[in-house]
Structure 1
Amino acid sequence: MTDSTTSTPFHSLDRYIALPRVEGLALSPDGERVVLTVATLSADGTRYERALWQVPARGEGAPRRLTRSAKGEAGVAFTRDGDALFVSGRPDAEAEKEHDASQLWLLPAGGGEARAITRLGGGVSGVAATALEADTIVIAADLLPSSTGVEDDAAARAERSEKKVAAILHETYPVRYWDHDLGPAEPHLLALDLEGLADALPDRSPAADARDETGATGATDGDAPTPYPAHLPAPRDLTPRPGRSADTAGQALTPDGRTLIAALRVPSRGLPRFEIVAIDVATGERRTLLGEEGVHYEYPTISRDGTALAYLRAPFSTPEGPGDQELWIAGVDGSNPRRLAEGWDHWPAEFRFAPDGASLVVAADHDGRGPVFRVPTDGGAVEQLTHDHFSYTGLQVDAATGDIVALRSSWQAPAHPVRIDAGTGEVSALASPAAPTPEVGTMTEVDTLAADGSRVRGWLLTPEGASAEHPAPLLLWIHGGPLNSWNAWSWRWAPQLAVARGYAVLLPDPALSTGYGLDFIARGWNSWGEKPFTDLMAITDAVERRPEIDETRTAAMGGSFGGYMANWVAGHTDRFRAIVSHASLWAMDQFGGTTDNSSYWTSIFTPEGLDANSPHHAVADIVTPMLVIHGDRDYRVPIGESLRLWSELNAHHSADDGSTVHKFLYFPDENHWILKPQHAVVWYETVFAFLDQHVLGADWKRPANIG
């Protein structure tokens, strides 16, 4: 199907994993510079190294690399003066001891070397907020619950490390998140005042680095914790004794830097909620601005003049139906709250104020794409700014022009920086150190009508040369989520790799997908195995009727919720020749209590719905060969799901001698995603070998490097 003379990075897994990846961007306060975070493959091919690159924000000029270090840099933000802030574990030449913890670094706008401006025992998680008109910033960092301050925290960590204690005592739920254990440290928000921060020669005199509780320097006794360096800005804890409350749903500083507006978690026996609070940066005094039982208040965003606050109001979902995601605006003190775009049936993913505060620019899923919209703050009609097949993320607004800088991607183009004209919506690409990738095959929009009359749509990627004379085998690829849409590039799920090998790939958005309105999501609520399944089968039927598709050679695959659906498909139809199930939900009663956020999952199903929609009930009906894949460090969908699936597949379907057509690919050190480059190669090699065997009739070829 694919021209043998065609060679792109997607025809070689080694070339694919070596492609540079643009992962984030930040716009300087003057609107002149964009700093990109770019990941490149390490020399040994076992990890990605991240560096910062600067490109002109007006669209002219070439990329310039700003940083180089073995540990890499990420999490870029700007001070009001245009200095770049980033987080890195690179060595600090001014520190007496080398530490592995990442710290906050500052790269001067005028040039010169970056310098570390924190020295916290547990490091810095990221830049939480910066002020437009002040030298105040807020960082996120973890401190041990027994610590009384940053110096005490460093001493406690050192003792814990010296004695090799790894135990964690939990007193609240949850205890895990995605791929890591929570605790013993708790998340804090710390304020830093960068005023007066200047380069100076280090003072190595004995008392130079002694700081008392007021911030003054002085002598310390030999048993006291090592004092926090006096030449660095002293962190002020804005969230003392936080528990998990400072696992925020967004935060922003007022332009004068005096008030932090944060969406803090409110502990609860059941599902915790978020409320928006105002914290006085100087005193730590806190007051609640917006909060309500059974409702999340999230992602506070402040206008440039500091008078208005935009936020997301999200009532809890229940087994009866999904909660909406509502865009609201209020005074910065929480006064006069009102909903915007009330009749606009979309879920805002990102939003930023226009410079004049008269509108918000909003990114939202929409019909298999992720356009940018303009939402007037006076209650006027929503206007769609971009009208292409792309999705936009990382929105930044130029204060001088109102133009938008963002990352744009589609299933034919990885994320790349662009500028959007605020008046016309015209999009122009900015310079990037990552060259555009060649398109592979053809991307076509497809749709059909479900049995209830709902439109179900998706993207179909077909290989070069697919035709009625040479139809392509079909791979149904089901997205995760389930509140998701196949509308943006993913380095983890790359259908181009399958297209380059001659497969057509169908990327459908069934019931529960976002971008089609709340009713479309509700069609599959509390019944994952019903409308989502029949939607998938309906659009597969429609695509198989196309002349360039070989309906006799088909397979299905998916990860997470897509893995759940792959398992459900396996137990409810024999139409596919092979099924690949990655990080899948298998036994819903077991999953609900072992996932990292059980309070959410158990709140959106009735007991009857949970049981009726559990794939494990249909294990005896599975006749299609399955490839099961899972990482042991997956805490969102714990490994027990695939272990039980594998056990029950063998109990029901293995031969008398124990042999089986099914296979189980296991990664002891990966999580919900397979992130290490060498493991991504193994993943794809195994998947394609399995598909080639059962879909194309090829001999089984055991992938290299798996023993």
Structure 2
Amino acid sequence: MTAPVSVFHDLSHYVAVPRVSGLAMSPDGSRLVTTVATLNRKGTGYASALWEVDPAGESPAHRLTRSTRGESGAAFAANGDLYFTSSRPDPEGEEDEPRTALWLIPARGGEARVVLSRPGGVASVHCARAADRVVVTAGLLPGATDETQHAALAKARKEGGVDAILHSRYPIRYWDHDLGPERPHVFAVERGAMQTATAEEDDQREDEAGPPLPGTVDRAPELRLRLLTGDLPAPLHEPAPVVSPDGTFALLSVPVPMARADQRSALVRVDLSSGKRHTLIDRDGTEVSPGPVSPDGRRAVVVLDRVTSPTDPPHPQLFLVDTESGATTPLAHDWDRWASPVAWTPDGSAVLALADSDGRRPVFRVDVVSGEVTQVTDDDAAWSDLVVAPDGRTAYGVRSSYLFPPEVVRLDLASGEVTVLPGPVERPRVPGRLKEVETTAADGSRVRGWLALPEDPAPGGHPLLLWIHGGPLGSWNAWTWRWNPWLMVAQGYAVLLPDPALSTGYGQEFVQRGWGAWGDAPFTDLMAITDAVVAREDVDEERTAAMGGSFGGYMANWVAGHTDRFRAVVTHASLWALDGFGPTTDAAYYWQREMTAEMGEAHSPHRFVEDIRTPVLVIHGDKDYRVPIGEGLRLWYELLSRSGLPAAEDGSTVHRFLYFPQENHWILAPQHARVWYAVVNAFLAEHVLGKEPDALPQELGLVAPEGPATP
């Protein structure tokens, strides 16, 4: 697959670029498998497939799976078998409706086959590296204690045509989907007797395909599930068990109910043979996330964070935990970064971790005895999905930057040398250049970002788009398909991607500067770096716009109410009235920790609607549960009824509202992504460039198709 050179000049080509994500390595280090998502035939979604990449870099990548439903969640078993999940039809099954089943490709090769199918499907699969042990996560209806009861309840619900959910706990939804009626659980996968065929089935198979070869077995062992998390004090949420290398136990973060619909987390150890659990870490005011288990199984590296408050932002730190006693030892607490531990070195001497740092996300090595931290990679990139080869000298990962989308690479852990492996997708050529920019804020803090510029100069400089990232605890450091600056650079804009206060990768104090005060340092940081960039000769100070989504949308709203310097503002999935947002977001308990009512009132953009004199494009999806649609609806009404640019007497307005009934916090459907960018381009062309609005997609129903009318 090759991506066209002009993908950023044509939205149809852009959404069709294949997208790489994830990486799994076989226990012996001889195989790497990644996932590639490609546009479906109708152009209305993506289907993913598993691809194998040669770790030696000598052979081209080749495709392992193919179906219209797609495959994901690749995991290697200790014997080299490859598990994955897919809702594609089982050629030997009789299900009326597709369900996400557990599939297997044998290590020796051959066709993929279903090894486990159940009502509600299978969410994820996790394998021990050095033992025959597999666990899965899957949903279980609350009235069931085993698979038989679950199947019966699922059947009754389906046949009754009921989709109602009776809740007794909080939360009840997440991002874009309801929680329940099934509750996530962790199961051990057990093998039963070899499946046997009836004589009639054997005769039919022989008639169709001929007799089996001597010495071959045509049936997989029967698999069954054993519940491991049946009596927890609160339901799990997106469980991610960490299985020990020898397969004897798993570490799991579990919710601990708190007063007033709040919760935190604890760490438990689950014996995978007996199902017995015991708590390793359970501390008031503390959140726990398990990391990888050491090769000998005696220790694990975990992340402990404090439960936040209006004055205390997150402060995640690494610890070593004894997997028997739960005793913890601080690890690298002098390191002022928020690290995510990903793997141990095979000799158990160090842990590899990833952390946002200065607009990148490098690989770090943390010595478990001294706590010394060494940066392994120094490229301008963000790393993910890091796996370590058995020899301990090499690692593999997925990396990206604003110059290239995710790709599979090999890393020499001693030298830091990076080699791009022959992958399923070639890099698209970006239509410009990338510069690093920075300035000093009024309080002396350094504020930096990326500036994407067209290749050729423009008379008077390029118009500028200030893009503000979401989070707000994040950083502009990795390729994004949703907020891609090169699509706008291809239109002639310079795009500024700054990391203001609250951004990660600049130390704890940089986050503290903006905590609970979103309209203060984050706003002044953005204005300071914008001032520095518009002072460049290749940027036009008079033609600028501000854009953002989620927290970036909040900040775009705040910008609109606090300055007239921009000709247009684009606000996507944005927070508008914080008193309404707080109780209706999908994790209201977290929001209640972040700001007091007084803080929320002081920093709520809706209070400054009368000061908005800039045209605003509002964009929102109805299925957005993180920033509910009520925020967009109220923003739209108050823009038209109370802003400095209200609707005219005939109801027309310079503002615009792009509404997606079926999209969530992100615009995921490719046809809707094309509409999103087309509308944004037209809005900016009109207000920033002073041009006639670009033609809008016919699918919006606003433009008549070319040619004679059909009678």
Unpaired stretches in structure 2, ≥5 consecutive residues: 202-218, 702-711
Is this contact kept in 2: 1:145–1:241, CA < 8 A? no
Is this contact kept in 2: 1:248–1:262, CA < 8 A? no
Q: Amino acid of the residue matched to residue 664 of structure 2?
A: N
In the alignment, does 2:110 pair up with 1:115? Answer: no
Is this contact kept in 1: 2:233–2:256, CA < 8 A? no
The aligned residue for residue 214 of structure 2 is none
1:635-657 Cα deviation digits (max 9, x unpaired): 00000000000010111211122
Is this contact kept in 1: 2:54–2:61, CA < 8 A? yes
1:484-539 Cα deviation digits (max 9, x unpaired): 00000011111100001100000000000000001000000110001000000000
How far off its partner does 1:384 sit?
Answer: 0.4
The aligned residue for residue 638 of structure 1 is 628
In the alignment, does 2:696 pair up with 1:706? Answer: no
In the alignment, does 2:609 pair up with 1:611? Answer: no
Is this contact kept in 2: 1:414–1:490, CA < 8 A? yes
Is this contact kept in 1: 2:35–2:49, CA < 8 A? yes
In the alignment, does 2:307 pair up with 1:316? Answer: yes
Tell me the SS of whatever aligns to 1:233.
strand
Tell me the SS of whatever aligns to 2:301.
strand
Which residue of the other structure, out of 368, 371, 376, is the alignment partner of 1:380? 371
Distance 1:403 1:109 in 2: 23
Worse overlay, 259-268 or 583-592 = 259-268
The aligned residue for residue 487 of structure 1 is 477
Change (3 A) 1:380 1:261: closer
CA RMSD of aligned residues (A): 1.7
Distance 2:23 2:245 in 1: 21
Q: Amino acid of the residue matched to residue 333 of structure 1?
A: E
Distance 1:568 1:426 in 2: 44
1:603-649 Cα deviation digits (max 9, x unpaired): 11121111100000000000000000000000000000000000101
The aligned residue for residue 50 of structure 2 is 52
1:579-618 Cα deviation digits (max 9, x unpaired): 0000000000000000000000111112111110000000
* Map 1:209-224 → 2, pairs under 5 A: none
Is this contact kept in 2: 1:391–1:487, CA < 8 A? yes
* Map 1:96-111 → 2, pairs under 5 A: 96-111=94-109
1:242-297 Cα deviation digits (max 9, x unpaired): 47532256321222322121111112234311111111222221110111011011
The aligned residue for residue 549 of structure 2 is 559
Distance 1:300 1:349 in 2: 8
* Map 1:289-438 → 2, pairs under 5 A: 289-438=280-429
Normalising by structure 1, what TM-score? 0.93
Which residue of the other structure, out of 553, 560, 564, is the alignment partner of 1:574? 564
Distance 1:363 1:352 in 2: 10
The aligned residue for residue 237 of structure 1 is 227
Distance 2:145 2:196 in 1: 30
Is this contact kept in 1: 2:454–2:494, CA < 8 A? yes
The aligned residue for residue 193 of structure 1 is 190
The aligned residue for residue 6 of structure 2 is 8
Distance 1:175 1:244 in 2: 13
How far off its partner does 1:437 sit?
Answer: 1.1
* Map 1:273-284 → 2, pairs under 5 A: 273-284=264-275
Q: Amino acid of the residue matched to residue 92 of structure 1?
A: D
In the alignment, does 2:538 pair up with 1:540? Answer: no
Which residue of the other structure, out of 17, 20, 31, is the alignment partner of 1:19? 17
Is this contact kept in 2: 1:309–1:334, CA < 8 A? no
The aligned residue for residue 213 of structure 2 is none
Unpaired stretches in structure 1, ≥5 consecutive residues: 1-5, 207-228
In the alignment, does 2:260 pair up with 1:265? Answer: no
Change (3 A) 1:350 1:45: farther
Which residue of the other structure, out of 163, 168, 176, is the alignment partner of 1:166? 163
Change (3 A) 1:203 1:255: farther
The aligned residue for residue 682 of structure 1 is 675
Is this contact kept in 2: 1:250–1:298, CA < 8 A? no
The aligned residue for residue 657 of structure 2 is 664
Tell me the SS of whatever aligns to 1:641.
helix
Tell me the SS of whatever aligns to 1:305.
coil
How far off its partner does 1:691 sit?
Answer: 0.4
Distance 2:234 2:476 in 1: 32
Is this contact kept in 1: 2:292–2:341, CA < 8 A? no
Q: Amino acid of the residue matched to residue 456 of structure 1?
A: V
Q: Amino acid of the residue matched to residue 620 of structure 1?
A: E
The aligned residue for residue 216 of structure 2 is none
Is this contact kept in 1: 2:437–2:451, CA < 8 A? yes
Which residue of the other structure, out of 441, 444, 449, is the alignment partner of 2:432? 441
Distance 1:460 1:579 in 2: 19
* Identical aligned residues as a percent: 50
Distance 1:339 1:123 in 2: 40
Is this contact kept in 1: 2:545–2:688, CA < 8 A? yes
The aligned residue for residue 141 of structure 2 is 144
Is this contact kept in 2: 1:251–1:301, CA < 8 A? no
Is this contact kept in 2: 1:484–1:513, CA < 8 A? yes
Q: Amino acid of the residue matched to residue 160 of structure 2?
A: K
How far off its partner does 1:440 sit?
Answer: 1.9
Tell me the SS of whatever aligns to 2:593.
coil
Distance 1:666 1:169 in 2: 30
Change (3 A) 1:239 1:205: farther
Distance 1:175 1:364 in 2: 31
Worse overlay, 271-280 or 447-456 = 271-280
Distance 2:199 2:20 in 1: 41
Q: Amino acid of the residue matched to residue 468 of structure 2?
A: I
Is this contact kept in 2: 1:583–1:672, CA < 8 A? yes
The aligned residue for residue 443 of structure 2 is 452
How far off its partner does 1:230 sit?
Answer: 11
1:347-379 Cα deviation digits (max 9, x unpaired): 013421111110011110000000000000002
Matched positions, count: 676
Distance 1:299 1:380 in 2: 18
Distance 1:203 1:426 in 2: 57
How far off its partner does 1:305 sit?
Answer: 1.9
Distance 1:682 1:42 in 2: 18
Which residue of the other structure, out of 492, 495, 504, is the alignment partner of 2:494? 504
Change (3 A) 1:691 1:244: farther
Distance 1:151 1:627 in 2: 52
Q: Amino acid of the residue matched to residue 29 of structure 1?
A: P
Q: Amino acid of the residue matched to residue 700 of structure 1?
A: P
Distance 2:674 2:529 in 1: 30
Q: Amino acid of the residue matched to residue 691 of structure 2?
A: A
Is this contact kept in 1: 2:139–2:182, CA < 8 A? yes
Is this contact kept in 2: 1:248–1:265, CA < 8 A? no
1:419-452 Cα deviation digits (max 9, x unpaired): 1101111111111111111122110000000000
Distance 1:631 1:605 in 2: 25
Distance 2:127 2:221 in 1: 21
Distance 1:177 1:136 in 2: 31
Is this contact kept in 2: 1:186–1:244, CA < 8 A? no
Is this contact kept in 1: 2:186–2:239, CA < 8 A? no
Change (3 A) 1:389 1:25: same
Is this contact kept in 1: 2:345–2:392, CA < 8 A? no
Tell me the SS of whatever aligns to 1:117.
strand
